[in-house]
Structure 1
């Protein structure tokens, strides 16, 4: 049986979750029999489950997406699971699902998802997971574990040449080290950055401040380095 995008009434516009199901390109005819129940559940939650009421809580609003993710996780269909996590269930916020969980304060659920997805898809996904896990450990004051996530994040970001991710890793690593009272350890990674790398575009600084607005301690470290004359290009667009 092949699934059409909207079997009940093709004249109705697809919901956002229905559009996502179409992007998953999932045909129940082609899935292994032992995985049919999980894939059928993905179809149900994204296509058939009733829309949440207007006064629903945040988790209830994205319940169908989270259920779809967990069923895809169950069959280790990591690429489709990732597509669910990067969906934007609330177009007013224009945030991906995994980011919404953190914004709404569900950091434990967010961390569990990152841990599940870590090292399952690709390097870019891994940097996001490592970043999120390190930040979660920062928030619960488990700074040793935070460093254990920030360090491989930094290494991986450099390996794939992702400068924005590298700076997020530096920020997280510096904050965790300073929180432990290890000021020199917090500054050390910054000494490896070339001065020209401070000339990041305005869009980068907006992204960084948005995700790490609470990590003011690291910005103080950066300012100290700039004031000391080690670098003069901070913030140049």
Structure 2
């Protein structure tokens, strides 16, 4: 039986009387009679769980206004009861059921991730590891890596993706290798380790090239069909799975190129991703790529063009039930508003971003919102508010090991303390920020850390040392290359005017 395409839920085909007289095989499969000497009758405890799973699958009916979780609760509760029976084949069937939801085209294990129900995705997939076959293990490992990535538990996510990569390599499963490498790229990108993420994405593209080259030999003994993997060829509409993977990876590389300050490359990758996504009707990748293309254009000075594109997406945000896609839009729109010095509009975006992700529990986007709000408060000389937001971000960044957010938080503290004349604290925080930025090889946060150290030495009256750090920050973040580096220059100039203005006023 091909498990990826078998949509029949066995329990839903049985009657209540059959449920009471079924047997279990040693592998945990359900049979209606003793077809084999080793088949056994379930215990009373097991029959209770079996009946509970049966009722959840056959009789649970959510109302039309039910939440996303309530719409699939029957399947999830049934899987929980079946886990107590160790009925792995029956749980496997639930993974691939298509919930009867208007506009839904994904099987359950995928739909949970799309909706952001990551803990439910973990609870469904984790018990199946090592219970059915290596192909199902590959699928579950991929889902677990994805879920833990979006729960910001990056070391755990990396472990699952590395396990997937090892298993795929041992079984010569190139499609699963591509999934693992792409997952590692996504995970390290969200973690802020952009160069590492870039390297994994490039490796994934090479694997996808090999898959495309061998597509005419899919019937050979080395080929692994998409069906046997459990990843559906039609998951995103028409088009091959390699096209879906390639489009997603190019969109991620556009994101990484922005953070690596390769803006023209970012434009190139995003345009490629959009072209592929339009061809195969992959709206999710198209959404991400369009947003990242807008940011790359904004960094290159084409801000009105970027703003128009983001505004168009912003008007459609209430039609989009994917929290992460809306969050990406709000991050990018807020950033472009900051480039234009339209801080009031930026605050509106960041407050909405913070509210959405406090509800969803996504720490990464909470940190983005808090840091941007803190920056705006810095610009508007609202020191206490800036300190409060930065404290919140630093606490979250340290708790969840977000080193890039931690670096920027420490830089902002250095800026506050140098402005107040507390030079030793300013230098302490600035040096910590620089060490972390160098550890994660991030030019943006390294440039910010060098800047705040330069400003701290300026306040200390060490002008030569201050100049060295500020010049070093210009080398890392040239002001003529990117809107964020221009904002940083504006902050430097603002502090310099204040510093010398205060001294001239004394005469």
Does TM, scored on the shorter chain, surpass 0.5? Answer: yes
Structure whose alpha-carbon radius of gyration is higher = 2
Structure 1 residue 37, shift from structure 2 partner: 0.3
Q: In the superposition, relative to structure 1, how do residues 191 and 27 fare at CA in structure 2: closer, same or farther (>3 Å)?
A: closer
Q: In the superposition, relative to structure 1, how do residues 146 and 186 fare at CA in structure 2: closer, same or farther (>3 Å)?
A: farther
Q: What corresponds to 2:252 in structure 1?
A: 215
Q: TM-score, normalised by structure 1?
A: 0.70
Structure 1 residue 64, shift from structure 2 partner: 1.3
Q: What corresponds to 1:203 in structure 2?
A: 240
Is the CA contact 1:138–1:176 (under 8 Å) kept in the aligned structure 2? yes
Q: What corresponds to 1:30 in structure 2?
A: 22
Pairwise mapping of residues 130-145 of structure 1 onto structure 2 (< 5 A)? 130-145=141-156
Q: What is the number of equivalent residue pairs in this alignment?
A: 207
Is the CA contact 1:20–1:84 (under 8 Å) kept in the aligned structure 2? no
Match of 1:159 among 141, 155, 170: 170
Structure 1 residue 66, shift from structure 2 partner: 1.2
Higher helix proportion: 2
Structure 2 CA distance for aligned equivalents of residues 61 and 75 of structure 1: 24
Structure 2 CA distance for aligned equivalents of residues 20 and 99 of structure 1: 22
Structure 1 residue 186, shift from structure 2 partner: 5.5
Q: In the superposition, relative to structure 1, how do residues 192 and 109 fare at CA in structure 2: closer, same or farther (>3 Å)?
A: closer
Is the CA contact 1:137–1:145 (under 8 Å) kept in the aligned structure 2? yes
Structure 2 CA distance for aligned equivalents of residues 153 and 45 of structure 1: 32
Structure 1 residue 142, shift from structure 2 partner: 3.1
Structure 2 CA distance for aligned equivalents of residues 197 and 30 of structure 1: 47
Deviation string, structure 1 residues 26-80 (Cα, Å, up to 9, x no partner): 743124123110111122122233x222222221111211111111011111111
Deviation string, structure 1 residues 91-139 (Cα, Å, up to 9, x no partner): 6423111111111121122123222222222111111111112122322
Q: What corresponds to 1:77 in structure 2?
A: 87
- Aligned-pair RMSD on alpha carbons? 3.7
Deviation string, structure 1 residues 115-171 (Cα, Å, up to 9, x no partner): 222222211111111111212232233332222111111121233333222111111
Q: What corresponds to 1:21 in structure 2?
A: 12
User: Tell me, which stretches of 5 or more residues in structure 1 are unaligned?
Assistant: 1-15, 225-234
Q: In the superposition, relative to structure 1, how do residues 181 and 20 fare at CA in structure 2: closer, same or farther (>3 Å)?
A: same
Q: In the superposition, relative to structure 1, how do residues 17 and 64 fare at CA in structure 2: closer, same or farther (>3 Å)?
A: farther
User: Tell me, which stretches of 5 or more residues in structure 2 are unaligned?
Assistant: 1-6, 24-41, 216-238, 266-275, 277-507
Question: Bigger relative contact order, structure 1 or 2, given CA contacts below 8 A and separation 6+?
Answer: 1
Q: In the superposition, relative to structure 1, how do residues 73 and 47 fare at CA in structure 2: closer, same or farther (>3 Å)?
A: same
